[in-house]
Structure formats: structure tokens, C-alpha cells
Chains A and B, each alone.
Chain A
């Protein structure tokens, strides 16, 4: 019960921006949206999180719609090393308000 919906897979050309969408229509008003990625079978790596304002850090930008029902993670200049599974996560009421990871989006950056 991931509470988020993401495309199964996406391709992106190297050097171009990768835009990864996520729907979280049932998110509550004070819950953050988190993005992680997992390269091969390594442990998930935190990328960015946000509440309602757009956020940017050294890795990516996060655009959250005004109604907060969806968001987009932007990798501005994708490289081959950005090939990974990207997870959009919100906390759920079950299991002590913990994080639930769905299957994510498999991003392939192509040369």
C-alpha cells in the first residue's frame, strides 16, 4: 500500500533533463514527499524532500503542485550514473507513520 503512483520505467538521453512524475493524491496536509533512488542493489539513497514549496539541492529539484497531489523530480543533466530505480514516498498511517516503498520508476539514461 504505497500511497504513491509512479510510471514503471522511463528512458532519458544523457545530458538531458530527466523528469520523473509521482501521484500522491491522498497525501495529508502536513506530510512531506520524499524521493530516494537505488542503484543496482545498493541501499536506497536519499535525494530530496519537500512539503509544498519547490526544493532544489545539489542532486535534483522537486516540483510539487499547488494542490500537493503530485510532484516531479527533476535531474537537470542526467548522466549514465543516474540510471537507477527512483522511489517517491510518503508516510502512511500504518506501522507507526512509517515510510512505504512501492516498486518505483526504473530510469535508464541512454548514451
Chain B
């Protein structure tokens, strides 16, 4: 059981380039999340999804876009990379029914914008 899989693990981008961070989960979880973590800080929520076709903004959505066409996948898109987006990005998922279940996290994507 792979859990939450994020690709790539590392990436260096030039300012103005675009890329998509991939996230896939095989636990049939309804809820999925994207966070960013800057050095020495906690995680900040970028976007979340409560099911296929439904997404919503978190605390820091500017500069990012998401889509959720399937239950399994929740890609995060950076359209015009900026140095301020240098960070570690974590994807998470959790089951949505019943009592609020804890989140399961991927291993992260380390992104540098130069």
C-alpha cells in the first residue's frame, strides 16, 4: 500500500517557468490537501479538495492552481514561478466519512526557484 505519493522529490526552476507537482493516493480518500512549508515554519494550506471536481482555496493560494478530476490525483500547478515559491510542498489525504480522520502525508517535493 503506497499511501500518498508525490513526484518529483526535487526540482529546480527558473523564474517564470511553470510546472506541475503530482500527488496520488491509493486509499480512496475523499479529502486531499496541498501545503507548503518554509524553513523553520509550520505548514500552510494552499488548496484543498473534498472530492473529485471540488476544490477550494486555503490560506496561501496565490500563484497556484489545482484540479481534481479523479479521486486518486490532486496535481498542483505553478504557472509563473517566483523565488517566493521556493519551499517544500506536501500533499496529504484523509478519509471524509464519519468521525474526522487524521491526514496521511506524502514525503514532499523540494522546489527551488532561481
- B-binding residues in A (CB < 8 A): 2, 32, 34, 36, 41-46, 49, 87, 91, 94-96, 98-104
Which range contains the number of B residues in contact with the other chain?
20 to 34
B95 CB–A CB distance under 8 Å: no
Query: Which of A45, A49, A95 has the largest number of chain B CB atoms within 10 A?
Result: A95
Shortest B32–chain A CB gap in Å is 11
Output the nearest chain A residue to B88 by Cβ-Cβ distance: A41
Docked complex Cα distance between A101 and B90 (Å): 12
- The reply to whether A103 and B41 contact each other, CB–CB distance below 8 Å, is yes
Shortest A14–chain B CB gap in Å is 25
Docked complex Cα distance between A32 and B59 (Å): 21
- The reply to whether A43 and B106 contact each other, CB–CB distance below 8 Å, is yes
- The reply to whether B59 and A95 contact each other, CB–CB distance below 8 Å, is yes
Shortest B57–chain A CB gap in Å is 7
B80 CB–A CB distance under 8 Å: no
